[in-house]
Structure formats: C-alpha cells, structure tokens
Amino acid sequence: MDRVFIEDLTVQTVIGIYDWEREIRQAVSLDLEMEFDIGKAAETDSIEDTLDYKAVSKRLIRFIEDSEFQLVEALAERCAAIVLAEFPVNWLRLKLGKPGAVRGSSAVGVIIERGTPAT
C-alpha cells in the first residue's frame, strides 16, 4: 500500500508536567505516515483524488496549537484519532518528538501505529 507522509511538522504548544512548562510554549515535532492508495490521484493528477496533506497539516497544527497536554503520549493519541476520524486513512504511523527535552538529545518522544493496514 502507498503512504503519504508529513515530515518534521513543528508546532508551538503548551506541553509538559512541570509548572514552568505550563507557562510557556514549546516546540513539538510531528512525522506522520498515512496509508493511502495514490493510484487514482496519479491517474487523474487531481487534488480531489488524493489525501490532501496540506489539509491534514493545517488540522493538526490548529489542534496542537490550541492544546495543553502534559504528556506527548496523550497528544500523539489525540492527533492519531483526529487523522483517522476526519481523513480517508485506515492506518498511520505517528512520531511525536519534543526537541530539547533531555540534555544531550536532539529530541525525545513516542512512535505509535494506529488503525488497520491494508493487506
């Protein structure tokens, strides 16, 4: 099955468990792979026949900017649920990172897979 991807979508949000983190906005970075058959879009060359990655990005940006989660795990789950519910996607892999959260590391976070891949 084909996959449409969004890589390194960086959004500012309130995220973290510490008091000081609740008072500032921090960056989170999102990588997303979504299973989608691109065959028809490749044939027609029409945006109506594909998974509009700009629409997915804009929806997630709006959600993440407005959110105030403590854990990246919770934010990742909600982002995955939005994509699966609102777009023609049956399976996705989502990597959500929090850059600079651990000294000496470029980012920490989670990778989740949700939905049922085509066989």
54 included as an active-site residue = no
Query: Which fold would CATH assign to domain 3-115?
Result: GTP Cyclohydrolase I, domain 2 (3.30.1130)
pLDDT digits (tens, 9 = 90+) for 10-59: 999 999 999 999 999 999 999 999 999 999 999 999 999 999 999 999 99
pLDDT digits (tens, 9 = 90+) for 48-106: 999 999 999 999 999 999 999 999 999 999 999 999 999 999 999 999 999 988 888 88
Q: Can you tell me the distance from the alpha carbon of 58 to that of 55, in angstroms, rounded to the nearest whole number?
A: 5
This prediction's pTM: 0.94
pLDDT of residue 69: 97
pLDDT of residue 100: 85
Cβ neighbours around 42 below 10 Å, total = 11
Catalytic annotation, pick one of 54, 58, 95, 98: 98
> Given the DSSP bridges, would you call strands 91-99 and 26-35 parallel, antiparallel or unpaired?
antiparallel
Q: Can you tell me the distance from the alpha carbon of 66 to that of 63, in angstroms, rounded to the nearest whole number?
A: 5
pLDDT of residue 55: 97
pLDDT of residue 119: 66
